[in-house]
């Protein structure tokens, strides 16, 4: 995609992090923007900022895990702007802990947002974009789904998050191939960030009411503390990653990485799979981290 001015972007998780930074760039490129987020006050402030940059903005309070709400947002988008040209399925929440300690509602919440939120975005907007492509030979569309490096690796004590993000990578790769079967005008990408300071570590604020009072297990507390430390110490900013997203759009590139230097761990995992080896120690290069995690989970 070479041209952005006069086109429309739909962005979920738009009130903070990657979503807000992508909104800022989109506004600077002359795009109209549907900004969707579950947190109304943050959404109001973000939408006001982006409108102040001169963009046409449709703010939409949205729970991406709800099929009906995403469908309604799709209808509102079509009514206001027509078929979008860029869809950034970006909303996500964090989660960790030993996999057997997580309750059914924990799984439903994380998978509902991280996976089904992307599924709903793909399901609602892809047909709309394909229809626009059939009607206009000059139409260009692009869907970007936010996964994670955790969608290419399996760090321990993060199973619920890993599962959700692996599924998003699989969905996105399949979407890429499916689109190539039927069109040359709509493309797909997957964003796999590593540790980037965003609001993901504060996603507990949006947990469903029935999960708010549940006491976290020790492994969940440890996972949250380690994630907070890793994310807050990240040196690559959300604004930089947002620019990577637009670079990938211009280059029609599928994989978008914030930390390509971390791909060595992905290569090791792939080699383990091909060779039939047991999974390599994820802390081989930093054994002190693995020892700290083991001690935190074994000590009474």
What is the pLDDT averaged over residues 51-69?
98
pLDDT over threshold 70, residue 300: no
**pLDDT at 127 (0 to 100):** 98
From the candidates 60, 139, 161, 257, give the one annotated as an active-site residue: 161
Angle at 25 between CA 19 and CA 28, to 5 degrees: 140
Residue 201 has pLDDT above 80, yes or no: no
Residue 1 lies in a domain: no
Structural domain total, the chain: 1
Does residue 238 belong to any structural domain of this protein?
yes
The CA-based dihedral angle spanning residues 11, 17, 22, 24, taken in that order and rounded to the nearest 10 degrees: 110
Position 282 in a domain: no
Per-residue model confidence (pLDDT) at position 32: 98
* Domain assignment present for 285: no
Residue 102 belongs to some domain of the structure: yes
The pLDDT > 70 percentage for the chain reads 94
In a domain, 277, yes or no: no
Q: Is the pLDDT of residue 202 over 70?
A: no
pLDDT score of 168 more than 80: yes
Q: What is the pLDDT of residue 30?
A: 98
Residue 288 domain flag: no
Closest CA to 217 of 286, 274, 140, 159: 159
296, part of any domain: no
More confident site: 180 or 235 = 180
Q: Using one digit for the tens of pLDDT, what is the confidence trace for 208-227? A: 667 766 788 889 988 888 88
Tokens 């599962």, located at residue? 163
Q: How far apart are CA 131 and CA 65, in angstroms?
A: 25
Catalytic annotation present for 139: no
What CATH number is given to the structural domain containing 140?
A: 3.40.50.720
Parent domain of 142: 8-265
pTM of the complete model beyond 0.85: yes
């Amino acid at each position: 995609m070479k041209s952005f001015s006069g086109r429309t972007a739909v962005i979920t998780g738009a009130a903070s992090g990657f979503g807000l930074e992508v909104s800022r760039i989109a506004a600077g490129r002359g795009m109209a923007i549907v900004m969707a987020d579950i947190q109304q006050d943050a959404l109001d402030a973000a939408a006001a900022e982006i409108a102040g940059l001169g963009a046409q903005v449709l703010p939409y309070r949205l729970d991406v895990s709800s099929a009906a709400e995403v469908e309604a947002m799709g209808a509102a988008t079509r009514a206001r702007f027509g078929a979008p040209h860029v869809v950034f399925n970006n909303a996500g929440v964090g989660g960790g802990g030993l996999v057997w300690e997580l309750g059914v509602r924990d799984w439903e919440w994380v998978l509902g947002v991280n996976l089904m939120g992307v599924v709903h975005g793909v399901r609602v907007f892809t047909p709309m974009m394909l229809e626009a492509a059939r009607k206009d030979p000059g139409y260009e569309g692009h869907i970007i789904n936010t996964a994670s490096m955790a969608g290419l690796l399996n760090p321990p004590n993060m199973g619920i998050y890993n599962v959700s993000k692996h599924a998003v990578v699989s969905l996105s790769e399949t979407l890429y191939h499916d689109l190539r079967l039927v069109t040359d005008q709509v493309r797909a990408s997957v964003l796999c960030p590593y540790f980037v300071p965003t609001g993901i570590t504060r996603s507990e604020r949006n947990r469903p009411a029935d999960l708010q009072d549940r006491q976290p297990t020790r492994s969940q507390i440890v996972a949250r503390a380690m994630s907070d430390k890793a994310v807050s110490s990240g040196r690559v900013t959300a604004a930089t990653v947002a620019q990577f997203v637009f670079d990938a759009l211009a280059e029609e590139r599928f994989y978008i990485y914030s930390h390509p230097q971390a791909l060595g761990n992905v290569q090791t995992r792939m080699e383990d799979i091909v060779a039939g080896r047991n999974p390599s120690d994820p802390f081989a290069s930093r054994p002190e981290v693995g020892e700290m995690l083991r001690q935190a989970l074994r000590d009474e």
